[in-house]
Chains A and B, each alone.
Chain A
Amino acid sequence: MIEVSYRQILQNGVWTQNTGLVALLGLCPLLATSNSVVNGLSLGLATTLVLLMCNVAISLIRPLVRPEVRIPVFVVVIACAVTAVELAMHAFLPGLYTVLGIFIPLIVTNCCVIGRAEAFAFKNGVAKSAVDGIATGLGFMLALVLLGAIREVLGQGTLFSQAELLFGEWGTSLTLHLIPDYRGFLLAILPPGAFIGLGCLIAIKNVIDARTQRQVAARPATALMTAGS
């Protein structure tokens, strides 16, 4: 088996194999909760926490689990982690729970959680699995926050509205009204806006990747040329 470095794990999770933008896993929560930055950030944080808990737990119980029953065991572990996170959120962040309520249990259905369990945590040590969980979660959160920002600015003309749900009272001052007296652009808030926005984000990521690839390909050539002249 090829050993992966921490750097590679981080790079894969956040960028190269980004759950939201490359693997396109977990589209249901991604599209549904990305109508504002705060919603996206909150679900991103909850998903990251679940990924971290599941990856650590699964990598710890590796020696105990026979391969034949690994998938049901993963399901049990994930369900427990999500339930715990949901109960904790209901208890300590009730305002946020009312906004995100139904999407927290849906983290269970986010394929990226069981995907990372099967593809990574079941084959690697605790430390690396933990980093992988955080990296994958951060990647998902990045997609959620970017999409949330695009949709919130276009749809309501604000950024960080309702931040008090996540950060407490002082969050109210975080809300930015970018466009005063904005009438709102309904399409961005509605589901089609989520699909269009996600499409644009994927396109932008592909452009960036293509550009870096060209630069990498061009580098040895220029090195040769300078050496030759």
Chain B
Amino acid sequence: MKTIFRSMGMAALILAGFSVVGAGLVAVTYTSTKDIIAKAQQAALETSLNQLVPADRYDNRVVEDAIEVVAPEWLGTNQPVTVYRARKNGQPVALFATPYAPDGYSGPIQLLIGVYADGTLAGVRVLAHKETPGLGDGIDEKRSPWILAFAGKSLENPPLERWKVKKDGGAFDQFTGATVTPRAVVKATRQFLEYVQTHQEALFVKAKG
């Protein structure tokens, strides 16, 4: 009996020892890569923001000038969405956010939308989607230039009632065999523009002072 407990204890000790050493190793790796990962993420974010608004149009650290907003009816998600603000000499230039188009063909589509302070679109990009390859994935900039057509558009151009795909009597192309996906993206973009228009001042409020 005693020997059984002895060997059980030994086995438990060995396992505990390995768990502690293993957790320690993971902790060391985590702390030594944490800053590099954060920097890489910021750099990736900056690169995609600069695709929409050229870096010489603003002079603040956009990735640090951010607020979080919750607006499910406008942004397609119950989760807080981060809004980044670009400024030059303290004046608002543009803002960026990553709202969702909740009614994609196979689940929500995450967008990155940039809007200039005057309400025109700097551009739209797709960050994450699960649309059908070869059909709905034309919204991805890598697959087709469709999404680039949003740049320069605003709620007046085309007029609000034409913010639809052509099949629904609007101004935006759909894809052959895929209407649901572009319809969802157009709707989400329009909603975001309306959200910015109605909340502009609040969205540009400075974080400090």
Binding site for B on A (CB under 8 A): 61, 64-66, 68-69, 72-73, 76-77, 79-80, 83-84, 87-88, 90-92, 94-95, 98, 184, 186, 189-190
B36 and A91 contact, CB distance less than 8 A: yes
Interface residues as binary, B16-46 with A (CB distance below 8 Å gives 1, 0 otherwise): 0011001101100110010011001101100
CB distance from B178 to the nearest CB of A (A): 13
Contact of B40 (CB < 8 Å), options: A69, A80, A91, A186: A91
Q: Which residues of A contact B7 (CB under 8 A)?
A: 66, 68
Q: Does B69 contact A (CB under 8 A)?
A: no
A84 and B29 contact, CB distance less than 8 A: yes
Tell me the dominant secondary structure on chain B's binding face.
helix
Number of A-B contacts (CB under 8 A): 61
Q: A65-B18, A66-B14, A76-B22 are in contact. List 5 more A-B contacts (CB 8 A).
A: A73-B14, A76-B19, A80-B26, A92-B36, A95-B44
Binding site for A on B (CB under 8 A): 7, 10-12, 14-15, 18-19, 22-23, 25-26, 29-30, 33, 36-37, 40-41, 43-44, 133-134
Nearest CB in chain A to that of B11: its residue? A69
Contact of A90 (CB < 8 Å), options: B23, B25, B37, B134: B37
CB distance from A32 to the nearest CB of B (A): 14
Nearest CB in chain B to that of A184: its residue? B134
Known: A64-B14, A77-B22. A91 touches B133 (CB 8 A): no
Tell me the dominant secondary structure on chain A's binding face.
helix
Contact of A65 (CB < 8 Å), options: B14, B25, B29, B44: B14
Contact of A189 (CB < 8 Å), options: B15, B37, B133: B133
The 10 closest A-B pairs by CB, nearest first: A91-B36, A91-B33, A94-B40, A80-B22, A69-B11, A186-B134, A84-B29, A87-B33, A76-B22, A91-B37
B11 and A83 contact, CB distance less than 8 A: no
A73 and B133 contact, CB distance less than 8 A: no
Q: Which residues of B contact A98 (CB under 8 A)?
A: 44
Q: Which residues of B contact A90 (CB under 8 A)?
A: 33, 37, 40
Cα distance A94–B36 in the bound complex, in angstroms? 10
Nearest CB in chain A to that of B33: its residue? A91
B22 and A88 contact, CB distance less than 8 A: no
Nearest CB in chain B to that of A79: its residue? B22
Interchain Cβ contacts under 8 Å between A and B, 8 examples = A66-B7, A69-B14, A87-B29, A91-B36, A94-B43, A184-B134, A186-B134, A189-B134
Known: A80-B26, A90-B37. A73 touches B134 (CB 8 A): no
Q: Which residues of A contact B37 (CB under 8 A)?
A: 87, 90-91, 94
A94 and B133 contact, CB distance less than 8 A: no
Cα distance A98–B30 in the bound complex, in angstroms? 18
Q: Which residues of B contact A66 (CB under 8 A)?
A: 7, 10-11, 14
A68 and B133 contact, CB distance less than 8 A: no
Q: Which residues of A contact B29 (CB under 8 A)?
A: 83-84, 87-88
CB distance from A25 to the nearest CB of B (A): 23
Nearest CB in chain B to that of A190: its residue? B133
Q: Which residues of B contact A87 (CB under 8 A)?
A: 29-30, 33, 37
Cα distance A61–B21 in the bound complex, in angstroms? 12
Known: A94-B41, A189-B133. A72 touches B26 (CB 8 A): no
A83 and B26 contact, CB distance less than 8 A: yes
Q: Which residues of B contact A184 (CB under 8 A)?
A: 134
Q: Which residues of B contact A92 (CB under 8 A)?
A: 36
Cα distance A73–B23 in the bound complex, in angstroms? 12
Contact of B15 (CB < 8 Å), options: A72, A80, A84: A72
Contact of B33 (CB < 8 Å), options: A65, A88, A95: A88
Nearest CB in chain A to that of B133: its residue? A189
Q: Which residues of B contact A94 (CB under 8 A)?
A: 37, 40-41, 43-44
Q: Which residues of B contact A64 (CB under 8 A)?
A: 14
